């Protein structure tokens, strides 16, 4: 028993190390309890949400079943509902945004952490990118409509004229459509992806970096083969968050995606997304429609969950390959 000895010593010479008092123990315990409670509360909230949405969706789920996921008609008057085009549009636009936004976002993060710029300029750039997150969704929608679409129209027309045999360019761009929507989504998720990737990259211990340089690696070898894999969990988190934002983005998409119930692989065709469908139809929905829309909301939640699970699995495999850990 060493502690009593130290305690008795502290009477004569005051020391900073003391046995925890009853208050300390109490605070520790209650803090632990509190965090525990909050963690559970988050899960409970999620369950409650699902239960409420599920209860309202139940009649629609019973009535339309899985056919809801595979049919393409949305006819309120005839009572036929299907969300396949919306599922397709949601995934297509979000994946495209993730691809572009992820690429640019991570590139920006590397650019802003690896001493490419003087520190002051780095700060300016970082703030500019993060400022993008503060712009309201409606403004993005209007910007897309009045600036982006006219700007990409000539390019889209050229692509359709000369590369129209590719299914991606199979139709001509009339105005709102999948590509403008995906491009605006890209810009919207950029701050999320770049800010979190940046944090992940700066969290990599400088010693690892120096060690890699010490072994004679070039700058790009260090960045691509040491830093990125080490920070991959954080970067993956950034991508998942960005993807989540893209899946759930509503107002800008409602204005830009064209809201047309069709399945098309062409980037220039109008499409529809689940979030836009919900936002546009909810205000005037009657009882049956409300149930159907709640069903669509559950589908959206399920997609988000599935995507996260798949992403986690992919990441585990990827990191296992890089680090040799299992």
Partner 1 sequence: MRRRHTGSMLLLVMLCSLCLAASDAVADMVKLKGSGASFPFPLYGRWFKDYGKVNKQVQVDYQAKGSGAGIKDFVNKTVDFAASDAAMTDEEIASVDVGVQLLPMTAGEIVLAYNLPNGPKDLKLSREAYSKMFLGQITKWNDPVIAKANPGATLPDTAITVVRRADSSGTTFVFTQHLSAVSEAWKSGPGSGTTVNWPSTDKMVASPKNDGVAATIKQTPGAIGYIEYGFAKIAKLPMAWLENKAGKFVEPSLASGQAALASVTFPADFRAWLPDPDSDAAYPIVSYTWMLFYKKYSDPKMAEALRDVVKYCLTEGQKVSDEMGYIPLPSQVVEVVAKAANNIQ
Q: Tell me how far, at minimum, the Cβ of 296 lies from partner 1, in Å.
A: 15
- For residues 257 and 144, what is the distance between their CA atoms, to the nearest angstrom? 10
Asked if 216 touches partner 1 (CB under 8 A), the answer is: no
Among 50, 53, 61, 76, binds partner 1 (CB under 8 A): 76
Q: Residue 28 belongs to what H/E stretch?
A: helix 22-64
Asked if 283 touches partner 1 (CB under 8 A), the answer is: yes
Query: Among candidates 303, 242, 256, which has minimal Cα distance to 101?
Result: 242
Asked if 252 touches partner 1 (CB under 8 A), the answer is: no
Asked if 182 touches partner 1 (CB under 8 A), the answer is: no
- For residues 19 and 10, what is the distance between their CA atoms, to the nearest angstrom? 11
Cβ nearer to partner 1, comparing 171 with 232: 171
Asked if 254 touches partner 1 (CB under 8 A), the answer is: yes
Residue tagged 């605070």 (tokens): 27
Q: Residue 82 belongs to what H/E stretch?
A: none
**Residues 292/75, Cβ–Cβ less than 8 Å:** no
Asked if 93 touches partner 1 (CB under 8 A), the answer is: no
Asked if 258 touches partner 1 (CB under 8 A), the answer is: yes
Determine the interface stretch with partner 1 among 36-44, 71-79, 203-211, 221-229 (rule: CB under 8 A). Answer: 71-79
- For residues 134 and 130, what is the distance between their CA atoms, to the nearest angstrom? 8
Cβ nearer to partner 1, comparing 254 with 307: 254
Among 15, 25, 73, 308, binds partner 1 (CB under 8 A): 73
Q: Tell me how far, at minimum, the Cβ of 168 lies from partner 1, in Å.
A: 14
Q: Give Cα separations from 154 to 8, 77, 160, 194 (angstroms).
A: 84, 39, 10, 30
Q: Which two tokens stand for residue 233?
A: 């969990």
Q: Which two tokens stand for residue 136?
A: 């309201």
- For residues 228 and 244, what is the distance between their CA atoms, to the nearest angstrom? 22
Asked if 261 touches partner 1 (CB under 8 A), the answer is: yes
Determine the interface stretch with partner 1 among 25-33, 34-42, 215-223, 282-290 (rule: CB under 8 A). Answer: 282-290
**Residues 91/274, Cβ–Cβ less than 8 Å:** no
Cβ nearer to partner 1, comparing 48 with 158: 158
Q: Which two tokens stand for residue 297?
A: 């909301």
Cβ nearer to partner 1, comparing 195 with 292: 292
- Residue ranges binding partner 1 (CB under 8 A): 72-78, 80, 142, 145-146, 149-150, 171-172, 174-177, 254-255, 258-262, 264, 266, 269-270, 276, 280-281, 283-286
């Amino acid at each position: 028993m060493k502690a009593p000895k130290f305690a008795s010593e502290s009477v004569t010479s005051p020391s900073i190390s003391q046995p925890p008092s009853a208050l300390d123990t109490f605070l520790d315990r209650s803090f632990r309890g509190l965090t525990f409670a909050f963690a559970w509360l988050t899960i409970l909230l999620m369950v409650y949400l699902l239960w409420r949405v599920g209860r309202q969706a139940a009649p629609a789920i019973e009535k339309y079943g899985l056919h809801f996921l595979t049919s393409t008609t949305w006819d309120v008057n005839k009572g036929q509902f299907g969300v396949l085009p919306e599922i397709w549009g949601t995934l297509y636009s979000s994946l495209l945004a993730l691809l572009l936004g992820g690429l640019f976002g991570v590139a920006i993060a590397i650019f802003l952490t690896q001493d490419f710029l003087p520190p002051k300029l780095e700060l300016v750039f970082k703030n500019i990118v993060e400022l993008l997150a503060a712009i309201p969704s409606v403004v993005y929608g209007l910007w897309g409509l009045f600036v982006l679409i006219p700007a990409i129209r000539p390019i889209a027309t050229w692509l359709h004229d000369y590369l129209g045999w590719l299914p991606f360019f199979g139709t001509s761009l009339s105005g709102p459509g999948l590509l403008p929507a995906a491009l605006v989504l890209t810009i919207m998720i950029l701050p999320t992806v770049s800010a979190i990737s940046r944090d992940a990259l700066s969290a990599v211990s400088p010693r690892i970096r120096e060690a890699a340089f010490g072994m004679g690696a070039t700058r790009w070898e260090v960045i691509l083969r040491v830093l990125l894999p080490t920070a991959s969990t954080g970067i993956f988190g950034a991508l998942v968050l960005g993807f989540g934002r893209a899946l759930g983005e509503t107002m800008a998409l409602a204005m830009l995606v064209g809201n047309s119930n069709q399945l098309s692989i062409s980037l220039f065709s109008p499409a529809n997304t689940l979030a836009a469908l919900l936002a546009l139809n909810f205000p005037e929905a009657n009882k049956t429609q409300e149930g159907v829309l709640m069903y669509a909301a559950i589908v959206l939640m399920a997609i988000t969950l599935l995507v996260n699970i798949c992403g986690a699995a992919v990441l585990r495999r990827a990191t296992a390959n890089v680090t040799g850990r299992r």
